[in-house]
Amino acid sequence: MSMKKSHFVLAGAALVLAYAAPVSAETIQIKIDKLKFSPEQVTVHVGDTIEWVNADFIAHTATARNKAWDVMLAKGKSATTAMTKAGAIDYYCRFHPNMVGKIIVQDT
Ligand SMILES: [Cu+2]
């Protein structure tokens, strides 16, 4: 293999890595319907965003037990929360403590 050709191959491999490396952030929807978070448990990555959609006709909250966030969700409204730290977060609704869910945030 000539020097020229091996350089070309290396450049091609570097290009593939450059395209594969960045993981794009995602938005994951958690719906509230009939006093339930759905899905009840999700696994996401640091940098992802949770979109809360309250499909009920009453207000709810999504409140992290570790106090990382407390999202107020009026009836029929939605809101977003960015997941900035790795870890497992249990959350609940302050108005209806039986409503619980869990978000597992993985390092990217
Ligand atoms: Cu509630």
Average pLDDT, the chain: 88
pLDDT digits (tens, 9 = 90+) for 52-82: 999 999 999 999 999 999 999 999 999 999 9
107 C-alpha to center of ligand 1: Å? 29
67 C-alpha to center of ligand 1: Å? 17
94 with 63: CB under 8 angstroms? Answer: yes
- Determine the 3-state secondary structure of 3 from DSSP: helix
Which superfamily does CATH assign the domain made up of 25-106 to?
Cupredoxins -  blue copper proteins (2.60.40.420)
What percentage of residues in the chain have a pLDDT greater than 90?
A: 77
The span from the CA of 26 to the CA of 74, in Å, is 24
Q: What is the pTM of this model?
A: 0.78
**Tell me, what DSSP letter sits at residue 12?**
H
Residue with tokens 């407390």: 70
59 C-alpha to center of ligand 1: Å? 6
20 C-alpha to center of ligand 1: Å? 41
pLDDT of residue 69: 97
76 closest CA partner among 38, 28, 31, 41: 31
76 with 104: CB under 8 angstroms? Answer: no
